[in-house]
A and B are shown apart, each in its own frame.
Chain A
Amino acid sequence: MIEVEVRYFASMRNPGGPERERVALADADARVLYEQLRARFGWKFDSHAIRLAVNGRMVAWEHPLAEDDEIAFLPPFSGG
């Protein structure tokens, strides 16, 4: 079991919900964590539409997670 910090951006953050929180997970796999949170929050996006950021860098979904990592699941961008 490891614990990571998850940051929430844009529509991935529940209105009035926290911008970040600690989350415990049994499997250090970003897809498993994503599906766990998706079930909890009802996120509409499949993981293929989401970019993964770990410790301030965008990385591939295969990137292994470690204790205290800062994780963000980034929905499609709309800057500009």
Chain B
Amino acid sequence: MPLRFELTADPIDPAVLRERIEDLDCGAAVIFEGRVRRHNRGRSVDHIVYEAFASVAVPEGLAVAEETARLHDVTRVLIVHRIGKVVLGELAVWVGVTSIHRDLAFQACAFAIASLKARVPIWKHEHYADGGPEWLHPLP
């Protein structure tokens, strides 16, 4: 499992994913957990429904993992993204990387999540406590 990208409709269990990037040759593991937060742009968020174009998102997400490994010299990259309804406090995305040294691992993890957000066709449909939902389409 050195390089993986997965979409899941089930809740993300970080303990299970942490075990999957175990590598005794590596001194550093850096993990990013993206969660659904209570407020966005001044509105009270109830939950988010994530939609993915899976047949494009999966190979593109794997390409992000491969590029992360190639550019930042890490041994394992695992990225898991939720689809469907995700409620407050739940994990929407989990990124874990391992490397020999911490500097490489920090850089790799930041690169992986930034690349995912820019390149992988996934969208948030944000649902609010006060009114109808909105699709989020941030312009670069």
| Chain A residues packing against B (C-beta within 8 Å) | 7, 9-11, 45, 49, 51, 53, 56-58, 72, 74-80
25 residue pairs of the A-B complex, CB under 8 angstroms, read A10-B51, A10-B123, A10-B135, A10-B137, A56-B55, A58-B56, A74-B53, A74-B121, A75-B135, A76-B139, A77-B119, A77-B121, A77-B122, A77-B123, A78-B123, A78-B124, A78-B135, A79-B57, A79-B81, A79-B117, A79-B122, A79-B123, A80-B81, A80-B93, A80-B113
Q: Is B92 an interface residue (CB 8 A)?
A: yes
CA distance A79 to B32 in the complex (A): 14
Instruction: Find the A residue at minimum CB distance from B83.
Output: A79
| Chain B residues packing against A (C-beta within 8 Å) | 34, 50-53, 55-57, 60, 81, 92-93, 113, 116-125, 135-140
CA distance A10 to B122 in the complex (A): 9
- Least CB distance from A69 to B in Å reads 14
- The answer to whether A57 touches B56, judged by C-beta atoms less than 8 angstroms apart, is yes
CA distance A10 to B116 in the complex (A): 17
Which residues of B sit under 8 angstroms from A7, Cβ to Cβ? 53
Partner of A53, one of B51, B53, B125: B53
CA distance A77 to B52 in the complex (A): 10
Which residues of A sit under 8 angstroms from B139, Cβ to Cβ? 49, 76
- The answer to whether B113 touches A9, judged by C-beta atoms less than 8 angstroms apart, is no
- Least CB distance from A49 to B in Å reads 6
CA distance A58 to B59 in the complex (A): 11
- The answer to whether A80 touches B138, judged by C-beta atoms less than 8 angstroms apart, is no
Partner of B137, one of A11, A56, A57: A11
12 new A-B contacts, CB < 8 A, other than A58-B60, A80-B81, are A49-B139, A56-B55, A58-B121, A72-B56, A74-B53, A78-B135, A78-B136, A79-B52, A79-B93, A79-B120, A80-B34, A80-B117
